[in-house]
Structure 1
Amino acid sequence: MTFIKTTEQDSNYNHLEKMTVNELLVNINNEDTAVPIAVKNAIPQIESLIEQVISKLKIGGRLFYIGAGTSGRLGILDASECPPTFGVTHDLVIGLIAGGDTAIRKAVEFAEDSTTQGWEDLKAYNVSTNDVVIGIAASGTTPYVIAALENCNDNGIITGCITCNKKSPLSQISQYPIEVIVGPEFVTGSSRMKAGTAQKLVLNMISTATMIKLDKVKGNKMVDMQLSNNKLVDRGIKMLAKELSISYEDAQSLLEKYKNVRAAIQNYNYGY
């Protein structure tokens, strides 16, 4: 079967410059409505990969995201939000991008075309068979990502991917591929749009479901979140007040003492 990048196909719309702002917004929104449906269709694939991630993290492994451009940035975003949201260490979920940290803000020319640097970037973290590496590439053809996953496969490391084209080279070499087929972009080839949104939704699922199964959530609350600003401190106090049926003031005192919502609940329940 010939591989066709649907993400690179012509937009369903033309003469965009002639549209009013309202027409642009309505049409972009119309296209966006297809994204959650495409993600829903991929849930069996997403579930299979998440089960592997949970299994490895439970035995001390780590989760790596690796990508280029928008895909790489989305992986870094998801990884960077795990410590404040779930109270995990910064080395549990790691995001890597072609071109290094510079590429987070500015495109690094031809960085995504390297067939050696992705594996080198992973080796810098001593990647091992305890870990899971997920390649992120809307096109499914990014050399930096594909070569990195090929090396992972050769070294017995579990691999997955998030892509928006069916039967892409990246999917073919991933042990647990996730294909979210969103179709052509509103602006032809601008995969930061529907494809990027789809990738973000899948990343939300991967990190959130994993952290819940690692007991980083109690009920529906982020009891291990970092109390890094006044808003989060206030949220923590309200969590405690509701969970323990105590006053806001008593909850505030508890949180000031134990510095963590989970610790405050546990110590209160044990009468400490």
Structure 2
Amino acid sequence: MKELVNLHQKEYSEFKRKKDLAALPYIYECDTGLNRYDPRLALIKMDIPITEARNPVTTTIDVASTDDIVQMLHMCDREIFNGWKQYKGLFHPETIATIRQISEVAVDILKKPDGMIVLSGCGTSGRIAFLIARNFNEVLRNSGREQCFRYLIAGRDKALFTSQEAPEDDPQCGIEMLKEVTAGRNRVLFIGITCGLSAPFVAGQLYYCMENLNIYTPVLLGFNPSNLARNIKIEKWDKTFLQVVRLMENKVAENKAYILNPIVGPEQITGSSRMKSGTATKILLETIFVSCVKAYENIPSNIEAHLKSYQDLCEVVYKETSSISKLVQLAGNSLKAGGTISYIGWDSLGVMGMIDASECPPTYGASLSDIRGFVETGYKLLNNIEGDLSPLGKYYRISIDEFQSDIVPGLKESDLVILLMKDESCTVSDILWKSTCQKACISFYSAEKEDRMDCTVSIDLSNLITEPLGNQHYKSWGQLYKELSTKWILNAVTTGAHILKGKVYQNIMVDLKVSNNKLFFRAVGIIQNFSNLPKEMCQEYLLKSIYMTDDLSDDLKSLQVKDHIVKATTMEKVVPTALVAAILKCKIDDARKLLLQHHVIRTAISDIINNRTV
């Protein structure tokens, strides 16, 4: 292990010298540890979920330059479209056929006065569900039709901004929310989004739909093969997610349900499904519903061409790698200096900023103040179910006016403000320009770079190929392309910034928040990966870190995972502490003291692994 970690730094330097990132050696993860990549392994059947596997492209991302970080992210995002290994991808005929079938069901829903389309998920999946429902309700409203899209997110609207751990793991909560929103409806298309085929909240909803097929047409949207759905018994329920998937497969055979699960490959940062999986979720849902709206309006649609337009967009965005990497560096400098990052956005671009900001605390252990998003007119623009949540506290004050009154007066040189500008009409108060903070913008209009900006990323959507979709398609749906462009750039900014801050070791987020069932077991896997200890022992080290004790009582061991999550959610450095204790087989307090000697968690983990007795 020690030799491999040393090689990790050396091989990156060598391949960087050759300027051949594409040739970076693959590292293959298996039960016995990390081994050199063997091409013969490419077709081996995966025994861990692909969404939780390590992406060989990014194993050296933690020691890469900002230019190379962005290039690695680009290489991985290409996998969304190019497919991964032998699995079916976005352009597979089966995927295209399923998209078309779901779109046809959606058209039928639009024609019925009592019809409804419900999109549901946890965390990022729920936030994407909110975004899509909001956008397509606006399309229906602008054409004078009834708004029939609804979103459900575990934890309700508070979860649009902050992680809400308990509801994500509660299938009954999901069922009750679904029953509540669809009361009185006789025809419902339900799309449950769970990237890893693992969310109990969605599992309960899918099962309820299958029990009531006279009303519901259930769709499972995710990015693992069906056989890799989570097969761990869901607490306070009598099923696993895999069992729900098997029931879904039976209904698919009867043309009463759909499973849409193209494989887009492992995430850039292991398990960070906010990135590729979140992007693919947005792409698939938009493809379904753009096709649906066109069909309803008797406009020909081309599913393959629509998917291809997003592939073209990916290249247009990453053509600006140089300016994106400069923005990543600015963001990294801010976080390393103890500063903050604020996204100021107009229209739905502001929503993209809020979504990206909300993902950082559970992913990187960031504080709620580190990265925040603000939108043009606050909740009036969001049009969320529960309306104005600002009375809940400062982290729910989200309008640009509130940014200018609450945040701008206290901005420091170490802080970074990023403007997400839909066009040249976007303006902010002069007080921001007088601030000493760093300033950057992402824009989609042709204009000379603003002299007052420290960095400008300008995306020229006119570079998109117009055929065979035609100019009218891009005129009607151009905002969707701006949103996805913004998502790619902001994901790069926050991923790169946290890498520079030292929150990632190799391509693993070692300081994640243990805030739900999925992250609890991911944390156990991280500890096992680097300590080579049995899974049961790794889970004990995690519990010792959560409860800050070396002697776990039988009462603590007998608690359910959800109880451990409630305790862990508010704590810092739970996983790094457990990891150090497991590697060195030391006491929890000693592990904490070792971490305090290092300002950067990545450096602490690297030094401890390198210097331990092998």
Q: If the length of structure 2 is used for normalisation, what is the TM-score?
A: 0.34
**Residue type matched to 2:53 in 1?**
Q
The residue aligned with 2:492 is none
Contact 1:7 1:183 in 2 (8 A): yes
**Residue type matched to 1:123 in 2?**
K
Contact 1:98 1:111 in 2 (8 A): yes
My pick for the range that moved more, 210-219 or 121-130, is: 210-219
Change (3 A) 1:116 1:130: same
How much does 1:3 deviate? 6.6
My pick for the range that moved more, 95-104 or 116-125, is: 116-125
1:48 and 1:218 mapped to 2: Cα distance? Answer: 15
1:49 and 1:82 mapped to 2: Cα distance? Answer: 16
Contact 1:68 1:142 in 2 (8 A): yes
Change (3 A) 1:48 1:4: farther
1:155 to 203, 212, 215: 212
CA deviation string 1:126-163 (max 9, x = no partner) = 35441110100101110000111100110121100210
The residue aligned with 1:246 is none
1:90 and 1:18 mapped to 2: Cα distance? Answer: 52
1:77 and 1:155 mapped to 2: Cα distance? Answer: 27
Identity %: 27
Counterparts of residues 163-178 of structure 1 (less than 5 Å):
163-167=222-226, 168=229, 169=242, 171-174=245-248, 175-178=257-260
Runs of 5+ unmatched residues, structure 2? 1-44, 83-88, 230-241, 249-256, 302-380, 382-422, 424-614
1:81 and 1:39 mapped to 2: Cα distance? Answer: 23
The residue aligned with 1:137 is 194
2:138 and 2:298 mapped to 1: Cα distance? Answer: 12
> Which structure ranks higher in relative contact order (CA pairs < 8 Å, sequence separation ≥ 6)?
1
How much does 1:124 deviate? 1.2
The residue aligned with 2:103 is 50
**Residue type matched to 2:203 in 1?**
I
1:97 and 1:34 mapped to 2: Cα distance? Answer: 28
**Residue type matched to 2:80 in 1?**
V
**Residue type matched to 2:77 in 1?**
D
Q: If the length of structure 1 is used for normalisation, what is the TM-score?
A: 0.74
The residue aligned with 2:289 is 207
1:181 to 263, 281, 289: 263
Runs of 5+ unmatched residues, structure 1? 220-228, 232-272
Change (3 A) 1:104 1:11: same
The residue aligned with 2:61 is 16
Change (3 A) 1:3 1:56: farther
How much does 1:89 deviate? 5.7
1:146 and 1:118 mapped to 2: Cα distance? Answer: 8
My pick for the range that moved more, 183-192 or 31-40, is: 31-40
CA deviation string 1:107-139 (max 9, x = no partner) = 102321001011111111235441110100101
Secondary structure of the structure 1 residue equivalent to 2:187: coil
The residue aligned with 1:263 is none
1:80 and 1:110 mapped to 2: Cα distance? Answer: 25
Change (3 A) 1:139 1:191: same
Contact 1:163 1:171 in 2 (8 A): no
How much does 1:171 deviate? 4.4
The residue aligned with 1:223 is none
Counterparts of residues 32-71 of structure 1 (less than 5 Å):
32-37=77-82, 38-41=89-92, 42-60=95-113, 61-71=115-125
How much does 1:44 deviate? 1.6
2:298 and 2:167 mapped to 1: Cα distance? Answer: 36
How much does 1:83 deviate? 2.7
Contact 2:168 2:201 in 1 (8 A): yes
1:173 and 1:218 mapped to 2: Cα distance? Answer: 35
Change (3 A) 1:130 1:94: same
1:105 to 130, 154, 161: 161
**Residue type matched to 1:35 in 2?**
I
Change (3 A) 1:104 1:140: same
Contact 2:80 2:265 in 1 (8 A): no
**Residue type matched to 2:91 in 1?**
K
Change (3 A) 1:216 1:99: farther
1:119 to 175, 200, 207: 175
Contact 1:78 1:207 in 2 (8 A): no
Contact 2:167 2:174 in 1 (8 A): no
The residue aligned with 1:74 is 128
Contact 2:182 2:188 in 1 (8 A): no
Change (3 A) 1:118 1:91: farther
The residue aligned with 2:278 is 196
CA deviation string 1:67-119 (max 9, x = no partner) = 10111111110000013234266740111100000001111023210010111
**Is the counterpart of residue 94 in structure 1 residue 150 in structure 2?**
yes
**Residue type matched to 1:14 in 2?**
T
2:175 and 2:107 mapped to 1: Cα distance? Answer: 23
CA deviation string 1:21-40 (max 9, x = no partner) = 01110011011011134322
The residue aligned with 1:265 is none
How much does 1:57 deviate? 2.7
Contact 2:116 2:182 in 1 (8 A): no
Change (3 A) 1:51 1:18: same
2:189 and 2:298 mapped to 1: Cα distance? Answer: 19
Change (3 A) 1:192 1:133: same
My pick for the range that moved more, 177-186 or 126-135, is: 126-135
1:17 and 1:31 mapped to 2: Cα distance? Answer: 15
Change (3 A) 1:17 1:3: closer
After superposition, the CA RMSD in angstroms is 2.5
1:212 and 1:33 mapped to 2: Cα distance? Answer: 27
My pick for the range that moved more, 207-216 or 25-34, is: 207-216
My pick for the range that moved more, 36-45 or 129-138, is: 36-45
